[in-house]
Structure 1
Amino acid sequence: MGIVQPESRRGFLRLAVGSAVAVGASGLIAPNAVAAAAPGGNRPVPREHIGIQLYTVRSLMESDPQGTLNRLGEIGYATVGVSGLYGHSPQEFRAMLDAAGLRAVLTHLSLDAIRGDWQQALVDAHVLGVQSVVVPSLPSDLQNPAGYRQVAKEFNEAGRAARRSGLRFLYHNHGFDFATVDGQILYDILLQETKRQWVNFEIDLYWAVEGGYDPVDYFRRYPGRFPVFHVKDMAEDGSFEDVGHGILDFPRIFAERRSGVREYIVEHDAPADPLASAQRSYEYLSTMRF
């Protein structure tokens, strides 16, 4: 199989952040370029739809789940994306969320979940109170056109069952989803071979850019298929950064109405201080305009 990697990350960053962002002599995007280039809109991100993926604070959830959830609520988050139950039952986890004043809007479930007792997984999702069930990644042995076509069929079946139970079914991307294999972009196979009434997408904005593509282009080509954004920022060197403190032009991305976005879920894969990162990201997202 022929795998074609994107050009260079530098070129893709220029694409994703828009032509208004200045590129310095070193070829790196200026650290404060996003704020300078932000459109002059006045639309806020609805605060009741600002959430955080609990993967961001996973180390704290292991040791003090209730205290961590309480703190996220105090910061201002209204919602969370669930990334495992940390040894608790769905009922226990829901009780902790309720006590913290948080709503779970989605839960990440493995590909094995849809291949196992999917009906029970959907029942558990309802206990958590989520709107969406999300497959967060695909194994390496399926990262080829035939594998993605196989998964698309499985997603259609799982998505139909989820819809019948009153839930949305989404897929969350990583950078590898944007690889071109045998002339085909893997992510595009999922978009083209799944039915929008059953399968849609939680687009991770960082990973889309890292993979070499402009999220806005996808919103225009596949309108309404991205009800959830994973709002994750990128540092100049390509590593993770707190939202609003990196180089991604979120106002430009958010301003494209054709995305279909309803939920804005902050994530940082490797924060030095998870709660400080969560607070910085919330402060930016709750005050930005687009």
Structure 2
Amino acid sequence: MTNRRDFLKTIGVASAGAMLAQSDLFAKQLMAKPKQIGLQLYTLREELAKDAKGTISKVAQIGFNHVETFFNYSGDASKDLFWGMKPAELKQVFADNNLKSYSGHYQLNDYLTPNNGKDDALKTQIDIVATLGQKYLIVPVPPFGLIDKMTIDDYKFMAEQFNKAGELAHKSGVQLGYHNHFWEFKHLQGEKSGLDVLLEETQKDLLSFELDLFWTVKAGKDPVELFKKHPKRFVMWHVKDIDKQFAKAVYPAAAQQGIFTTLREVKFTEVGTGAVNFKEIFNHTQDLQNIFVEQDQIYRDDKFESVKMSYDYIKNNLI
């Protein structure tokens, strides 16, 4: 007959086993890869300008689940409609094609410029994000006039503004985010970069990050190391690739310098055909919420074929 001590020991072992099983399941859930694939619509900007509704329909036919919008900057946020459509109209076009839009790129040039800080565009664009049903308002670049000459103090001002904007955005149920290029990795004060400032001086709940894998690798940085150093910050990725021959010819010298100096020193290609080690990067998806195919320049005549190649590679090999 089982005595009380043996009974408690058995229960303890069973409980421990259940806890370990739960822990293992939780760990697997944390590492679960995204099941949906999005497209940053900037990739097809020329096609959108010709036929926005037709282009969006073709994007859905390829298999994409969601899209990320971008602004056609005219300098007047009130006039920046989406290919002649108002936000509510665009949302309906997405719905008609069974597409969601979780995030969009928006312009906060004045708001992020020192000695300016006007927040008119911020408020207007928060409203647009809310109308589209998006969760994330993504700022894709530093202030245009400062891009190549940003200082540590400029990034500190940006961080301060992001904290304020993040609080304002939260009141409308919107999350602020920042998308990198390569400027942000440049060492500005010793080993400290602009991205270091933004990560260290913004509140984690007020500013999320969308890591562009192409630009990160271009700057000689390892995305996986960023994920490890800054957990829960990089919740979205732009998945785009570097031409292999270009990388072989140019990147070794660039890596020694630590960073490229001009946007012209790039060559894009379809995801999976280039030099970026996506399989290793996709082993670290614990914080990831959304991924987006993006290709700044497409060199094929059939732009949709190019986009489908990237979609197919991600679907068949990475998720």
- Report the TM-score when normalising by structure 2: 0.74
Question: Is contact 1:137-1:174 (8 Å) kept?
Answer: yes
Q: Determine which of 202, 212, 227 is the counterpart of 1:194.
A: 202
Larger Rg: 2
User: Which of 135-144 and 225-234 deviates more?
Assistant: 135-144
Matching of residue 148 in structure 1 with residue 152 in structure 2 = no
Paired position in structure 1 for 2:316: 287
Matching of residue 118 in structure 1 with residue 122 in structure 2 = yes
Runs of 4 or more consecutive aligned structure 1 residues displaced over 6 Å after TM superposition: none
What amino acid is aligned across from residue 135 of structure 2 in structure 1?
Q
Question: Is contact 2:282-2:318 (8 Å) kept?
Answer: no
Paired position in structure 2 for 1:220: 228
Matching of residue 46 in structure 1 with residue 34 in structure 2 = yes
What amino acid is aligned across from residue 161 of structure 1 in structure 2?
L
Report the CA distance between 1:140 and its aligned residue.
4.8
Compute the RMSD of aligned alpha carbons. 1.7
Paired position in structure 2 for 1:163: 170
Aligned residues: 246
In structure 2, the gaps of 5 or more residues are 1-30, 72-81, 112-118, 248-266
Question: Is contact 1:104-1:128 (8 Å) kept?
Answer: yes
Paired position in structure 1 for 2:18: none
Question: Is contact 2:107-2:121 (8 Å) kept?
Answer: no
Post-superposition Cα deviations, 1:58-115, rounded to whole Å, max 9, x if no partner, equal: 0000010111000010100000010122232111111211112111111111123753
Paired position in structure 1 for 2:106: 109
Structure 1 Cα separation of the partners of residues 235 and 206 of structure 2: 13
Paired position in structure 2 for 1:100: 97
Report the CA distance between 1:168 and its aligned residue.
1.3
Paired position in structure 2 for 1:135: 139
User: Which of 93-102 and 203-212 deviates more?
Assistant: 93-102
Q: Determine which of 284, 288, 295 is the counterpart of 1:268.
A: 295
Cα 1:45–1:244 change in 2 (3 A) is farther
Cα 1:141–1:112 change in 2 (3 A) is closer
Paired position in structure 2 for 1:277: 306
Paired position in structure 2 for 1:82: 69
Structure 1 SS opposite 2:157: helix
Structure 2 Cα separation of the partners of residues 90 and 274 of structure 1: 25
Question: Is contact 1:44-1:288 (8 Å) kept?
Answer: no
Q: Relative contact order, CA 8 A, sep 6+: which one is greater?
A: 1
Structure 2 Cα separation of the partners of residues 60 and 154 of structure 1: 35
Report the CA distance between 1:182 and its aligned residue.
2.8
Post-superposition Cα deviations, 1:208-227, rounded to whole Å, max 9, x if no partner, equal: 11111101111000001011
Report the CA distance between 1:144 and its aligned residue.
1.4
State, as a whole percentage, how many aligned pairs show the same letter: 31
What amino acid is aligned across from residue 231 of structure 2 in structure 1?
P
In structure 1, the gaps of 5 or more residues are 1-42
Structure 1 Cα separation of the partners of residues 154 and 306 of structure 2: 36
Question: Is contact 1:159-1:169 (8 Å) kept?
Answer: yes
Report the CA distance between 1:164 and its aligned residue.
2.3
Report the CA distance between 1:118 and its aligned residue.
2.3
What amino acid is aligned across from residue 207 of structure 1 in structure 2?
W
Report the CA distance between 1:116 and its aligned residue.
1.9
Matching of residue 241 in structure 1 with residue 269 in structure 2 = yes
